[in-house]
Amino acid sequence: MHTLSIGELAQKLAAKQISSLELTDHFLERLSRLNPALNAVITPTVDLARAQAAAADRRRSAGESGPLLGIPLIHKDIFCTEGVRTSCGSRMLDNFVSPYDATVVSRLRCAGAVMLGKSNMDEFAMGSSNETSYYGPVKNPWDLTKVPGGSSGGSAAALAAGLAAFATGTDTGGSIRQPAALTGVVGFKPTYGRVSRYGMIAFASSLDQAGTFTRSAQDAAIVLQAMAGFDPKDSTSVDRPVPDYQGLLGAPLKGLKIGLLQEFFEGLDERNGALIHAALAEFRKLGATTCEVSLPNLPLSVPTYYVVAPAECSSNLSRFDGVRFGYRCEDPKDLMDLYKRSRGEGFGAEVKRRIMTGTYVLSAGYYDAYYLKAQKIRQLITDDFRRAFESVDMLIGPTTPTPAFAIGAKVDDPITMYLNDIYTIGANLAGLPAVSLPCGFVDSLPMGLQLVGPHFAEDSLLNAAHGYQQVTDWHRRTPAGYA
């Protein structure tokens, strides 16, 4: 059952071939047995899951139906969950139990989804490998010596290992798409503002966006349908109608114009590049036309991101001071000692690095030279995308430069680590929707292709991804030992 799609599971539930409680117990058993080796889930919610599953069964017995009613999921531990620990992968919030649900959590709960637990993640979503977590690194189910990618690596690894039917994540600079590529699942980042950020612990507020991990583009459409929509609790939420994402799947791809991003192939491993060109050939068979597209300012996305994101991080994380909630040092001598030691002991090395970088670029005398200039370049990158979409419907390229690397291989080299997001950051800077799809293997490890569309083109991206998955089976592959 753990290899079935959301739609297939929903059919079994509707036909009463299985109950939600039985389905939930199946996933909980796998979670108990397989998670210790993966470290993908840090807070299982066994009793809550069984209670929600029983409630879903009662709703079905009363005549209610829905594609997510009774379907088990795992939430990234960045989403506040009422009565359940929300740690954000940090010692700072190790003892924090949220008094309310994030909008993403409440909407999926109302749709009937069953929460199995909270997934491990890079601390405060800062990382590209899921090695900065206070709870230790997540292992990639395709090779336990390799990283799953970050920061949503716990959600990606859990789904790839069949510990849930789907999972949530967040994407600030590629933190859904990158781990999706490295674990062989589908990772979808909607347009900025399409999904509410209320109750999602902030890293970089102008970049953060909630999204999905699923087995297929069709599953992503189902989950996004429940998550998307205006939220008055989020000032960045966009008041715009939500299309019928699942109903729009299956439209012919004839006439679709796909642009191949030239900048994404500079220095790319030839084997990875060959997978993207093979995918392009499949799209052409389906009726799409392709051409090369250049975004001249895109190579500046990494330095731009690593000015903007740390600046916003330093502001957002100033609230964690040891006074109101979260970690507090023992026996502080005075208020200043409380601040210094609580933050010094509560935050990990990567978070401290980004806070200090962000504080520096926002400081008097450096704001114009760094932060203001980065925002100007961000606009140039956004303009490049806008011009590209005047001639093509979407862009294609690799999601990551390499397959999953060894745990510990890059942890002491921040710059090399940051470059793992080189192909994903641009979409965040411009606020664009993007999806990563499995497209093959390099060295027996999964690789992903990325589709990027104009603002609010989620339906087009999902339809193109669905079309590709109708003629390929990369998304149906599972790691050995987890089938």
DSSP output for 366-422 = TIIIIIIHHHHHHHHHHHHHHHHTTT-SEEEEES-SSSPPBTTSSTT-HHHHHGGGT
- 342: its two tokens: 């609580």
pLDDT tens, residue by residue, 180-217? 999 999 999 999 999 999 999 999 999 999 999 999 99
What b/e string do you get for 82-109 counting C-beta neighbours within 10 Å, with b at 16 or more? Answer: eebbbbbbbbbbbebebeebbbbbbbbb
pLDDT tens, residue by residue, 361-395? 999 889 999 999 999 999 999 999 999 999 999 99
Q: Phi and psi (nearest 5°) for 170?
A: -130, 150
Which one is catalytic: 151, 152, 155, 301? 151
Which one is catalytic: 175, 237, 314, 460? 175
> Which amino acid is located at 281 in the chain?
A
Whether the pLDDT of residue 267 is over 80: the answer is: no
- 10: its two tokens: 């929903």
How much is the pLDDT for 431? 98
How much is the pLDDT for 266? 78
Active site residue 376: no
Q: Tell me the C-alpha distance between 421 and 428, whole Å.
A: 11
Active site residue 315: no
Q: What percentage of the chain exceeds 70 in pLDDT?
A: 100
Please give the average per-residue pLDDT across 273-289, as a whole number. Answer: 97
Residues pairing with 114 in the sheet: 72
pLDDT tens, residue by residue, 80-131? 999 999 999 999 999 999 999 999 999 999 999 999 999 999 999 999 999 9
In 3D space, the residue among 154, 116, 117 whose CA is nearest the CA of residue 135 turns out to be 154
Q: How confident is the model at residue 344 (pLDDT cuts 50, 70, 90)?
A: very high
Active site residue 76: yes
Which one is catalytic: 5, 20, 76, 237? 76
Q: Tell me the C-alpha distance between 20 and 9, whole Å.
A: 9
Terminus-to-terminus CA distance in the chain, angstroms?
10
List the domains of the chain with CATH numbers.
6-256+391-476 (3.90.1300.10), 299-376 (no CATH)
**For 101-115, 223-237, 264-278, which range has the lowest pLDDT when averaged over its residues?**
264-278
Listed in sequence order, the residues at least 6 apart from 117 whose beta carbon sits closer than 8 Å to its beta carbon are 31, 41, 42, 43, 44, 45, 49, 74, 75
pLDDT tens, residue by residue, 169-185? 999 999 999 999 999 99
Look-up of token digits 């799953």: 148
pTM above 0.85, yes or no: yes
